[in-house]
Amino acid sequence: MIDLRSDTVTQPTDEMRRVMAQAPVGDDVFGEDPSVNALQEYVADLLGKEAALFVPSGVMGNQIALAVHCHPGEEVIVEAASHIITYETAAPAVIARVQLVGIPSAFGQMSLEAIEQAIRPPEYYFPRTRLICLENTHNRHGGTVLPVAYIYEVAALARRCGLALHCDGARLWNACVATGISPRQYTEPFDTVMVSFSKGLGAPVGSALVGSREFIASARKWRKLLGGGMRQAGILAAAALYALQHHWERLHEDHEHARLFAQILAESALVEIEPQRVQTNIVIFRYPAPVPFAAFAEACRREGVLLSQGLPGWARAVFHLHVDRKQAMEAAHRVLRAVRSLL
């Protein structure tokens, strides 16, 4: 079975497990876990921010960011198909108690005009706009990369309007590898950034939030409030640090495999694919068979490929550590066989 549902399905490698087993640990709620502290220092430096906080998941990282940046009842501008609006169980309504404004876009890049129009004038009867969130790479739009120049334009707008700017960078590493732009260049315009170790980097658990020292101090309190104060978490942090140091370089292989897979699909008239969307390790494509996604996914499973759903009517294939070049090509041929079986 070739599992392309997500880059979260990876297993820790033998070497990663060795590093985890040997990691020095302590009670991180007391700030005494050397492996967690090492990871946090490394990530803060890598991303050019004052401080970092290891969190159990990307969702918790994003939700803590919303809670620290906003007061209840304030408004947050997000892209309409963003992870925050789609896959985080409406947590912003429950935790930060904010209202999300979703702005549709073609590739995850909301227009500056649309963002500006969504920022509320300061009438007492309007919600107060507080924060803009960008997602890089953009998951549902197919792993698309945000240009640095665009991010700076949004940051200038945010600053001009007194808003904070947060990046959902669960796959920021993929954007860096695809463009050659350094993590610091990507994070500089943001007040806060969330990055994940459990996606393409292949660590079993964990994300990090970076920002100012003051922001991270509040974030630590929120993490505890949400039940995310983990004790000997160094076992996990050691895997995350190992993944950053050893699995980042190989992400370009996932991007090549995604392109190969997409090329084979694009050569067939059986599926619809937009090659300009294939920028990193995610491929989304339309399957023309008049069946619901579950039936299409089942046909693919019968052929030995697991997929997930992208935008409505789109299937999603994600390339990772455990899919090699041969499997990537084989997966494309299997998907085409599955489409034929439904026509």
Ligand X SMILES: *Cc1c(COP(=O)(O)O)cnc(C)c1O
| Cβ proximity of 239 and 75 under 8 Å | no
Q: Quote the least distance from Cβ 201 to ligand X, whole Å.
A: 12
Amino acid, single-letter form, for residue 195: V
Q: Using CA atoms, how far apart are residues 336 and 315, in angstroms rounded to an integer?
A: 13
Tracing tokens 């240009």 back to the chain, one arrives at: 147
x/- site string to ligand X, residues 43 to 62, per CB under 6 A? Answer: --------------xxx--x
Tokens of 218: 């509040």
Q: Which residue is nearest to ligand X (CB)?
A: 58
Choose which of 83, 255, 277, 316 interacts with ligand X (CB under 6 A). Answer: 83
Tracing tokens 């789109």 back to the chain, one arrives at: 314
Tell me, by CB under 6 A, how many residues bind ligand X: 12
Identify which of residues 13 and 57 has a Cβ nearer to ligand X in the complex. 57
239-253 in b/e burial notation, b at 16+ Cβ within 10 A?
bbbbbbeebbeebeb
Identify which of residues 264 and 284 has a Cβ nearer to ligand X in the complex. 284
Choose which of 40, 174, 192, 198 interacts with ligand X (CB under 6 A). Answer: 198
Q: Is 79 in the site for ligand X (CB under 6 A)?
A: no
Q: Is 168 in the site for ligand X (CB under 6 A)?
A: yes
Choose which of 35, 139, 187, 327 interacts with ligand X (CB under 6 A). Answer: 139
The SS3 assignment for 284 reads strand
Q: Is 196 in the site for ligand X (CB under 6 A)?
A: yes
| Cβ proximity of 143 and 179 under 8 Å | no
289-325 in b/e burial notation, b at 16+ Cβ within 10 A?
beeebeebbebbeebebbbbbbeeebbbbbbbbebee
CA 9-179-163 angle, 5° bins: 85
Q: Quote the least distance from Cβ 149 to ligand X, whole Å.
A: 21
Tokens of 304: 């030995």
Cα 213 versus chain centre, distance: 23
Q: Is 174 in the site for ligand X (CB under 6 A)?
A: no
Identify which of residues 277 and 334 has a Cβ nearer to ligand X in the complex. 277
Q: Is 135 in the site for ligand X (CB under 6 A)?
A: yes
Identify which of residues 35 and 198 has a Cβ nearer to ligand X in the complex. 198
Q: Which of residues 292-311 bind ligand X (CB under 6 A)?
A: none
Q: Quote the least distance from Cβ 122 to ligand X, whole Å.
A: 31
Phi, psi for 55 (deg, rounded to 5): -125, 155
Q: Quote the least distance from Cβ 7 to ligand X, whole Å.
A: 9
Strands 75-79 and 99-103: parallel
Q: Quote the least distance from Cβ 270 to ligand X, whole Å.
A: 28
Q: Quote the least distance from Cβ 160 to ligand X, whole Å.
A: 26
Q: Quote the least distance from Cβ 343 to ligand X, whole Å.
A: 32
Q: Is 170 in the site for ligand X (CB under 6 A)?
A: yes
Phi, psi for 325 (deg, rounded to 5): -60, -45
Identify which of residues 170 and 177 has a Cβ nearer to ligand X in the complex. 170
Q: Quote the least distance from Cβ 308 to ligand X, whole Å.
A: 11
| Cβ proximity of 79 and 46 under 8 Å | no
Q: Given the rule CB under 6 A, which residues bind ligand X?
A: 57-59, 62, 83, 135, 139, 168, 170, 196, 198, 207
